[in-house]
Chain A
């Protein structure tokens, strides 16, 4: 275990920033989000939940894919991925356990064969420094999904406690990063970290959603859950605004669109939402015409379909962002309580 005094963190950031990009929670206009670090920026590692999850580091909200130049009947494709070859390695700093698990969930989608090279390029260029939670909130329920908020992995794990940030190396990438900043780090901290973890765990156990029962969300119950009459009541108030999908660290649905520019046609992709009415609209019809169907799709995907495709891994990590942000106070916790199993009372 290594450590650095909190008041020297700016030196650490500056040192990393000399050779790599640094994305870190930064407070701007009252909101904290992952952004590029620079001198004078207000870093807020203590913020438990950034408004947007760090997924847009690998899967940006909009991303240019290619360009087409057309002349008469001819088309030329410009592969703008060339710019990625020059992609500067970067460090994603301060990722909480839930958001780190969410990256694992996204990896299984984007890095599965055939690999999504846009995602892969960004992912490979990144070193992830996680930060253990010490003050979880009421809306947190990562423990339900087997996530230990006090010991996230990543390339380096850090703990913020008292006057120090404690630093533990986990991978080769983490080792390389540590070598870069070794002059700023000193030995020590095992005891402090262990003590913080113990205290946090007692808080985690008492959280209101700590004991949600997921036992019914199994592939063999897929059709029974799909047919459940409770979807009607649960989805009744859903506006289809898509807020839950945008703040969700695991939602990965996207659209691919073309836009005409002065330089030709630009093809880009952008986040989309299964909550939107035109998401599945085809010339020949639409297989999900009601909000009930769309609402059900989102939660069935997270709790049943995705786990069925990925060895039981849920695509909810219990970050609680949707719990805080839904304008109608609908959320996955209510779905789990209603359909997850009999120990949810």
Chain B
């Protein structure tokens, strides 16, 4: 059978939610109204507007959502600029899923989980968090630390407030970089907040956000006694094919599209510092 991996499917945007001034979440189904394909948390897809370009995005919806897929996309380049301008009903192309997922059916099982996200870094984590909520009994305690520049830059804040914060055995800590009117929560950067919270170092941690946040948060976690082999993150590099052939996302002996985007910190230690 011919593997259709480079030929995309046609998706229809059925809903657009403006999360923050520069992040929108797009709900996508196939032309038959059904979900385009199945995926696992952490996997990505190539989304394209023909004539404009094709880019890799994490699938932010959980695989347990059987109706549609969602992509949270930050406006920051030529393709995302155009994606942000589309309206409901617009067709786009989607191919995937690509890459390795978080080990939700492996090492995460039975563990206490710590999710740390910064800004749009919540997008790939939302998929895992909602997967974990769906199969709640398979996992231990869940702690989420999420920070953004301002209260207006917190992605998926409605879902966080109405659902995540009311979930049993799940703690959610929010923070913003600077004080702001109408915000009575924590103020400060994510790495400092993580250290302040004095988190249990036996948890399995997942970090996602800007490289600078990851760097300092990881240092903080190690100070708290976390084990690098139980800290996961995702990498993001330029990609064109998504299947380990075009050469773009190659770092050391890994292709981020195929061998990632999910990596253990111990795996990253073995790679040359070029990501």
Contact = CB atoms under 8 A, between A and B. Distances in A.
Interface in B69-92: 76-80, 87, 89-92
Contacts of B253: 219, 222, 304-305, 308-309
B238 A256 contact: no
A281 B238 contact: yes
A287 B79 CA distance: 19
B245 interface: yes
B275 interface: yes
Given A260-B51, A287-B237, A305 B252 contact: yes
B250 interface: yes
A254 B250 contact: no
Contact of B240 (A118, A255, A264): A255
B53 interface: yes
Contacts of A256: 54, 240-241, 246
Contacts of B3: 114-115, 117
B97 to A, nearest CB: 11
Given A253-B248, A258-B51, A116 B243 contact: yes
A75 B10 contact: yes
Contacts of A281: 238
Nearest to A80: B7
A265 B77 contact: no
Interface stretch (A20-28, A65-73, A159-167, A195-203): A65-73
A275 to B, nearest CB: 11
Contacts of B52: 258
A77 interface: yes
B8 to A, nearest CB: 7
A7 B220 CA distance: 77
A254 B274 contact: no
Given A281-B238, A283-B76, A301-B250, A118 B6 contact: yes
Interface in B86-132: 87, 89-93
Nearest to A278: B238
Contacts of B91: 73-75
A223 B252 CA distance: 9
A126 B6 CA distance: 22
A265 B248 contact: no
A116 B247 CA distance: 14
B197 interface: no
Contact of A116 (B78, B236, B237, B245): B245
Contact of B51 (A65, A70, A112, A252): A70
B238 A279 contact: yes
A164 B253 CA distance: 46
Given A117-B3, A305-B250, A280 B237 contact: yes
A282 B92 CA distance: 21
B238 A254 contact: no
Given A254-B246, A282-B236, A283-B80, A65 B8 contact: no
B50 A283 contact: no
A30 interface: no
Contacts of B79: 283
A74 B244 CA distance: 30
Given A73-B89, A77-B10, A117-B2, A272 B246 contact: yes
B6 A68 contact: no
A267 interface: yes
23 contacts: A65-B7, A66-B7, A68-B50, A68-B93, A73-B87, A73-B89, A75-B91, A77-B7, A77-B8, A77-B93, A81-B2, A252-B245, A253-B247, A254-B240, A255-B246, A256-B241, A258-B51, A280-B238, A282-B77, A282-B236, A283-B77, A288-B274, A304-B253
Interface of B: 2-3, 5-8, 10, 50-54, 76-80, 87, 89-93, 236-238, 240-241, 243-248, 250-253, 270, 272, 274-275
Given A75-B91, A267-B50, A284-B76, 13 more contacts: A65-B7, A76-B10, A77-B8, A77-B10, A109-B245, A114-B243, A254-B241, A254-B245, A254-B246, A258-B54, A280-B248, A282-B237, A305-B250
